[in-house]
Amino acid sequence: MPRKALLVILDGAGDRANRELDYKTPLQYARTPNLDSLARKSMVGLMDPIAPGIRAGSDTSHLNILGYDPYKVYTGRGPFEAAGLDMELEPGDIAFRCNFATVDDNLVVKDRRAGRIKEGTHELAQALNGLKIEDVEFFVKEGVEHRAALVMRGPGLIPFVSDVDPHGTGLKIHDAMPLKEEAEKTARLLNLFVRKSYEILKEHPVNKEREKEGLLPANILLPRGAGMAPHMEKFSAKYRMKGACVVGTPLIRGICKMAGIEPIDFPGATGSYDTDMKGKFRHAVEALKTHDFVLVNIKAPDIAGHDMLPKKKVEVMERIDEAVGYLLKILPEDVALIITADHSTPCTVGDHSGDPVPILVYASDSRREGTEFNEIACARGSLRIKGSDIMSIVLNITNRAEKFGA
Amino acid sequence: MPRKALLVILDGAGDRANRELDYKTPLQYARTPNLDSLARKSMVGLMDPIAPGIRAGSDTSHLNILGYDPYKVYTGRGPFEAAGLDMELEPGDIAFRCNFATVDDNLVVKDRRAGRIKEGTHELAQALNGLKIEDVEFFVKEGVEHRAALVMRGPGLIPFVSDVDPHGTGLKIHDAMPLKEEAEKTARLLNLFVRKSYEILKEHPVNKEREKEGLLPANILLPRGAGMAPHMEKFSAKYRMKGACVVGTPLIRGICKMAGIEPIDFPGATGSYDTDMKGKFRHAVEALKTHDFVLVNIKAPDIAGHDMLPKKKVEVMERIDEAVGYLLKILPEDVALIITADHSTPCTVGDHSGDPVPILVYASDSRREGTEFNEIACARGSLRIKGSDIMSIVLNITNRAEKFGA
């Protein structure tokens, strides 16, 4: 009988030896009885999200884990951010992350976040959305606070252009530069659009109102992170499983959307320290009633790694373990459960590293070989895989794999 | 000094946690003192027959283990079945497994096995062998009972055609359909041949005699499992080792034949539960006098897995262990001994799975690192390989590998 599968990604959970933790990793140091007891009923091992030593981003890792070769589909995070804001993308579209920002008359940045504007960005985005320059259409959608995404659609566009965002205040906005000769058109039209955004936004009633209230106007759109929307075979066609995801960050949400994996949104999935982990698991178990495969991403360990706070990361892991205990109570029997990370974010580094991450693969008949769930104990197990192997392993443990041969 | 090598494939020996076995695998649960003592003198580890999670067939796995990339040489089992019946194949031939079957005047199947016909199939095959339709020749050879193989030879043939065998009684035979446009000729001539087989066989004296005796006539040949005979470099040229095999199943025998590995046939190698394991080992040791490399396949564990009988599989493993004890007594010193499986056939699944299999590599000077021979204990060893790595490891441990570099 084919099983359903729940894949839990503990974002950035892998780590290195931290002196503050007696040279243990946070996962080693943390008290995680539920994860450990699960490991004892599971196949365990280590995974290189991309390949040994390769420092994966969360985006490239999630793509690889879901079976989409990031070296083929990933040119920048723009398209996935745009998809994460529910923009409809077509293969070949060029997309950017953007900030609504404040510039002066000389286009010098006064505030990259327009005073962390909270309201009115929908109207501002609408004022730019659908503009056409030459044969290229521009689509804009607002995100949370000052964040937005921009999509360019038209012939002859490629994503190899530099950022308009100068990444600092007191600096004039940059002209997007073509990084390849064929990107001249993309860069030229993007620069025209950015200037046009200033002409339109500086006169917009939302900004006039803000200025009246003494707030910084959101008078320009600053794009960065260009990427081309790839063709991605639908997850359901690739694996014959209907997929859902419960993730808090727009980037991962966008990757899932581009793959045809349905996002289950709920207010507690914040993608931060205070994320409602049990709520995520509850929604995931609910989604398993109507879907064959559910991906959950828990962002908190990554944040602790970026913040270089090993003790905080230990605390996060213990909170995750408690939520896993809750999950094990509500998870239907005979769902396969895979727990791993998308990359390591060592507290000693404060950023992603290329160290492998632990993985466990549980089903009612999985080989029982683990002892504890951490980087050191899992290395004794049978799995020594790459991110790109996970979906084959999911299809195998759910008894859904096609036999190759007789 | 170069050594000789004996490669023992315990077909389908890998398994998962079985509740009836206290959540152990059959290999974990079984008492296997000889295999365990051998493991303690061996390098051990795990092998993915093809790649992590991939559900290998016995055919694709044996090909990969012998160093022939199944993604290149395998289009279907037909050619290997035909070779297993000692048919001579040329690269480009299209071959099929067939049943002699019984159909009525409307070509509706009355019995897919023609009453499990035991005698006279040689004469029936001869009546079809050598037929020519347009520029394509047809060759037929009988196998055990109702089984046979068909080879098509001629220009413009490709193997992408559906089965003629409807895989059920009371159904009209299917027309082979081209699965690619270029397969139109193959399908059309195959359908003509099948109809011609009916015209010829229904009038054949063997069938007239059967009908007189109240037996079902074997009045049609039903092909299935189309594949193209690949070019395969001879094993002896590839590895500078003269190879032999002791295998009970025609499919694996055919793979060996196609690779130029000489089959050693003897009556006790049945490929079933009652196979004479000690006899197989005795014949293998005998073959090592004249050959450098001998492959033994023991089919019984796979059968127990397909039958979903964990206790039976334990019993099979204990019987294999006893036979290994016998082997160790008669094996000349300084022969390298490699024991592994071609895939897992978990009793919880009843079919092949993509779980990795244990492997041990023994020679008088092999690193001594094992503890027990099973899926869990071997995971602690040094080997974490794919099937395609085995022959390199065989060449290494037999001190035959060419040095790459200086």
DSSP secondary structure string, B107-164?
-BEEETTGGG--SSHHHHHHHHTT-EETTEEEEEEE-STTEEEEEEESTT--S-B--S
Nearest-CA distance A339 → chain B (Å): 16
pLDDT at B268 over 90: no
Decide: residue A144, CB within 10 A, 0-12 exposed, 13-18 middle, 19+ buried. Answer: exposed
Query: Looking at residues B336-360, what average pLDDT do you find?
Result: 98
Give the pair of three-digit tokens for residue B270: 């049945």
In angstroms, the CA B180 to CA B309 distance is 41
In angstroms, the CA B147 to CA B378 distance is 39
Q: Do B16 and A367 touch (CB under 8 A)?
A: yes
Give the pair of three-digit tokens for residue A286: 């609910």
Instruction: Using a CB–CB cutoff of 8 Å, tell me whether B227 touches chain A.
Output: no
3-state secondary structure of A403: strand
pLDDT at A271 over 80: no
* Contact present, B68 and B382 (Cβ < 8 Å): no
Backbone angles phi, psi at B131, to 5 degrees: -60, 150
Please state, rounded to an integer, the average pLDDT across all residues of chain B: 97
* Contact present, A280 and A330 (Cβ < 8 Å): no
Instruction: Using a CB–CB cutoff of 8 Å, tell me whether A333 touches chain B.
Output: no
Residue B271: pLDDT band (50, 70, 90) is: confident
- How many alpha carbons lie under 13 Å from residue B242 in its C-beta half-sphere? 6
Residues 6+ apart with CB under 8 A from B137: B130, B131, B152, B153, B154
Q: Do B56 and A368 touch (CB under 8 A)?
A: no
In angstroms, the CA B84 to CA B312 distance is 28
pLDDT at A268 over 90: no
Instruction: Using a CB–CB cutoff of 8 Å, tell me whether A116 touches chain B.
Output: no
Q: Counting one residue from A and one from B, how many pairs have CB atoms under 8 Å apart?
A: 93
Give the per-residue pLDDT at B304: 98
Of B52, B70, B375, the CB nearest to A405: B70
Instruction: Using a CB–CB cutoff of 8 Å, tell me whether A394 touches chain B.
Output: yes
Instruction: Using a CB–CB cutoff of 8 Å, tell me whether A99 touches chain B.
Output: no
Residues in chain B within 8 Å Cβ distance of A1: none
Nearest-CA distance A276 → chain B (Å): 33
Give the pair of three-digit tokens for residue B388: 């395609």
Nearest one of B124, B212, B91, B114 to B165, comparing CA atoms: B114
Q: Do A365 and B18 touch (CB under 8 A)?
A: yes
* Contact present, A236 and A242 (Cβ < 8 Å): yes
Nearest-CA distance B29 → chain A (Å): 12
Q: What is the pLDDT of residues A233-255, one digit of tens each?
A: 999 999 999 999 999 999 999 99
Q: Do A399 and B353 touch (CB under 8 A)?
A: yes
* Region for A126 from its dihedrals, namely left if φ exceeds 0, alpha if ψ lies in -120 to 50, beta otherwise: alpha
Q: What is the pLDDT of residues A367-400, one digit of tens each?
A: 999 999 999 999 999 999 999 999 999 999 999 9
pLDDT at B261 over 90: yes
Residue B235: pLDDT band (50, 70, 90) is: very high
In angstroms, the CA B264 to CA B256 distance is 11
Q: Do B351 and A404 touch (CB under 8 A)?
A: no
Domain boundaries, chain A: 4-74+231-397, 80-228
pLDDT at B274 over 90: no
Q: Do B355 and A396 touch (CB under 8 A)?
A: yes
Share of chain A above pLDDT 70, in %: 100
In angstroms, the CA B297 to CA B281 distance is 10
DSSP state of B102: E
> Could you tell me the CA-to-CA distances from B321 to A296, B12, B263 in Å, in that order?
45, 15, 24
In angstroms, the CA B168 to CA A195 distance is 71
What is chain B's alpha carbon radius of gyration, rounded to the nearest angstrom?
22
Nearest one of A167, A45, A21, A15 to A99, comparing CA atoms: A167
Q: State the DSSP string of B216-283.
A: PP--EEEEEEEEEPPP---HHHHHS--EEEE-SSHHHHHHHHHTTPEE---TT--SSTT--HHHHHHH
User: For the ranges A19-23, A263-267, A304-308, B52-56, which has the lowest average pLDDT?
Assistant: A263-267
User: For the ranges A11-20, A264-273, A341-350, B382-391, which has the lowest average pLDDT?
Assistant: A264-273
Of B52, B56, B348, the CB nearest to A389: B52
Give the per-residue pLDDT at A267: 86
Of B46, B51, B348, the CB nearest to A392: B51
Please state, rounded to an integer, the average pLDDT across all residues of chain A: 97
Q: What is the pLDDT of residues A50-103, one digit of tens each?
A: 999 999 999 999 999 999 999 999 999 999 999 999 999 999 999 999 999 999
The one-letter amino acid at A138 = F
Q: What is the pLDDT of residues B40-51, one digit of tens each?
A: 999 999 999 999
Query: Looking at residues B216-220, what average pLDDT do you find?
Result: 97
Please state which CATH class domain B4-74+232-397 belongs to: alpha beta
CATH superfamily of this structure's domain A4-74+231-397: Alkaline Phosphatase, subunit A (3.40.720.10)
Give the pair of three-digit tokens for residue A382: 């049978």
3-state secondary structure of A4: strand
In angstroms, the CA B117 to CA A63 distance is 55
Instruction: Using a CB–CB cutoff of 8 Å, tell me whether A105 touches chain B.
Output: no
Q: Do B53 and A382 touch (CB under 8 A)?
A: no
**What residue in A sits closest to B381 (Cα-Cα)?**
A380
Q: Which residues pair with A227 in a beta bridge?
A: A95
Best A382, A384, A389, A394 residue to mutate vs chain B (most B CBs within 10 Å): A382
3-state secondary structure of A126: helix
pLDDT at A34 over 90: yes
Residue whose entry in the numeric block shows the structure tokens 């450990």 = A36
Of B16, B351, B379, the CB nearest to A381: B379
Nearest-CA distance B106 → chain A (Å): 31
Q: Do A406 and B58 touch (CB under 8 A)?
A: yes
Residues in chain B within 8 Å Cβ distance of A403: 55-57, 351-352
> Could you tell me the CA-to-CA distances from B39 to B16, B84, B236, B321, B340 in Å, in that order?
20, 33, 29, 12, 11
3-state secondary structure of A262: strand
Residues in chain B within 8 Å Cβ distance of A393: 52-53, 354
- pTM equals 0.94
Backbone angles phi, psi at B35, to 5 degrees: -65, -40
Give the per-residue pLDDT at B1: 85
Query: Looking at residues B161-184, what average pLDDT do you find?
Result: 96
In angstroms, the CA A111 to CA A99 distance is 10
Helix axes A121-128, A205-212, angle to 10 degrees: 140
Share of chain B above pLDDT 70, in %: 100
Which value, to the nearest 10 degrees, does the dihedral of the CA atoms of residues A209, A212, A214, A220 take?
Answer: 50
In angstroms, the CA A141 to CA A148 distance is 6
Q: State the DSSP string of A23-44.
A: TB-HHHHS--HHHHHHHTTSEE
Residues in chain B within 8 Å Cβ distance of A402: 55
Nearest one of B348, B272, B364 to B316, comparing CA atoms: B272
In angstroms, the CA A8 to CA A34 distance is 14
Q: Do B353 and A396 touch (CB under 8 A)?
A: yes
pLDDT at B270 over 90: no
3-state secondary structure of B93: coil
In angstroms, the CA B272 to CA B298 distance is 8
Q: How many CB atoms lie within 10 A of CB A397?
A: 26
